[in-house]
Structure 1
Amino acid sequence: MLCVKNLTGGYSVHQPVIHHISFEVQPSEIVGLIGLNGAGKSTTIKHILGLLSPQEGTVTLGGKTLAEDPVHFRSQVAFIPEAPQFYEELTLWEHMELTARAYQMKPDVFKKRAEHLLEVFRMKKVAKWFPNTFSKGMQQKIMILSAFLVQPSLLIVDEPFVGLDPLAIQALLEMLQDGKQQGMAILMSTHILGMAEKYCDRFVILHEGRTSLHGTLPEMRKQAEQPDASLEELFIGVARG
């Protein structure tokens, strides 16, 4: 599904943030993108989304780059950012309507999916409210609802649990599991390592813009020569050099 190959890039041609990063995300799996603040996680995600152009390497989705088929590429991807981004002039329901129109969703399909998601995330009563009256966790739910509404082939989530209450976290985890079972490819950046170890199939651990460890937990244990290490122990070992 998603193939990142030899990716080098950043915000300046003269000072790349990430260097020669390669990994894949296949259908029906969750890949955890792990690293300290400043390790290059968000920069990698921005390259995948097409917000930054690679200095070297390629990002392909279904074998094609964004430049080769921008409409198809973007129609297959949904993104849940760490910081909620919304239009103050639109209600929650109108945000979902806008998303549905952007992805050319049929009205009856939209209505069914939207009502189900509002029920799951306990947002039905505030569907006609404006987001500037919401708490941060409720604002984050706008991003989550919009992403799952389109049922993308590739879902990218960046620290999705920030600000969510325990029930919302559980609902999100269940939605991620359901998406995986339905064939969705999921790339998740998170600092909650215990949760990542439990729910992710494979991992990419970044350090100073480079891939330090990658693969399943047993594969990374072998790479680090630590046969009994947890994900947190492997991460701390990388972070401390």
Structure 2
Amino acid sequence: MMDYGKEYSSPVLKVDIEEAGYEPGRPRIHDIHFQVAEGELLGLIGPNGAGKSTTIKTIMGLLKDAKAAVKISGNPPRYAYVPEQPVFYNDLTLWEHLDLAAAAFGLDDDHFKKQATRLLRKFGMEHVQDDLPGGFSKGMKQKMMLMIGFMSEPDIYIVDEPFIGLDPRATKDFLALLNLERQRGAGILMSTHVLDTAEKICDSFVLISEGRVITQGDLDDIRSSAGLPGASLFDCFDALI
């Protein structure tokens, strides 16, 4: 695991949120500060209603009632967002969705075809590349969202509950792709409730409850905060939250 206590010289994502919410004068989150380094996978965890989604929306600049400073590396800054709930156009095929994403990311045609073919094969979706996603299962729609996110090879991935709807093989393929992106230097911010998987794959964690950071750091830091040496992330989460 990475040493979260170390000051990284060039984080790919730096988040400083004083407060943010959906209505003026009614903030939902307060004093949330963290950063994601090159190649780091940071898990954003907390119970329902803790403020994880609000934090992600603030990072993406979607909330006008926010006092926050968010810095994404790159010129121009490039990030990919993979939402929890699939979003798609009913009249576009899977291949056309990938093509549209490639155009939005400014990928040339050769790069797009090579990347799309690789991702379709990796997720076992070649047989439905010309089908409309409205007829896909929930897991297949989630795979499509993941493939769209991976198309651009950005500096930072923001992934919201990626394991919902994925079967074990798709989960394994997704994690393998994440590892390749981390080796490339991409950072990953992942919101998830699947704590046993998070414990295995994340370098560090930010635990949020009632709109505030409860603790953050690597697993040993979390154990220290919970006063539970050697405990699982789940037990620490239970004790802290």
Q: Note the alpha carbon deviations across 1:56-86, whole angstroms, 9 max, x for none.
A: 23111129xxxxx8xx23xx11011000000
SS in 2 for 1:17: strand
Aligned equivalents of 1:41 and 1:178: distance in 2?
26
Q: CA deviation at 1:54?
A: 5.4
Q: CA deviation at 1:52?
A: 1.3
- Out of 2, 8, 32, which is 2:19 matched to? 8
Q: Is the 8 A contact 1:92 1:130 kept in 2?
A: yes
- Out of 104, 108, 113, which is 2:115 matched to? 113
Does 2:211 align with 1:200? no
1:144 counterpart residue number: 146
Letter in 1 for 2:116: A
Aligned positions of 1:43-54 closer than 5 A: 43-53=54-64
Q: CA deviation at 1:8?
A: 1.1
Q: CA deviation at 1:236?
A: 0.6
Letter in 2 for 1:57: A
1:219 counterpart residue number: 221
1:79 counterpart residue number: 81
Q: Is the 8 A contact 1:100 1:149 kept in 2?
A: yes
Aligned positions of 1:93-112 closer than 5 A: 93-112=95-114
Q: Which runs of 5+ in 2 are unaligned?
A: 1-11
SS in 1 for 2:63: coil
Q: CA deviation at 1:53?
A: 3.4
1:66 counterpart residue number: none
1:168 counterpart residue number: 170
Q: CA deviation at 1:13?
A: 1.9
Q: Is the 8 A contact 1:7 1:54 kept in 2?
A: no
Q: CA deviation at 1:168?
A: 0.6
RMSD between superposed Cα atoms in Å: 1.3
TM-score (norm 1): 0.92
Q: Is the 8 A contact 2:23 2:65 kept in 1?
A: no
Letter in 1 for 2:177: M
TM-score (norm 2): 0.92
SS in 2 for 1:125: helix
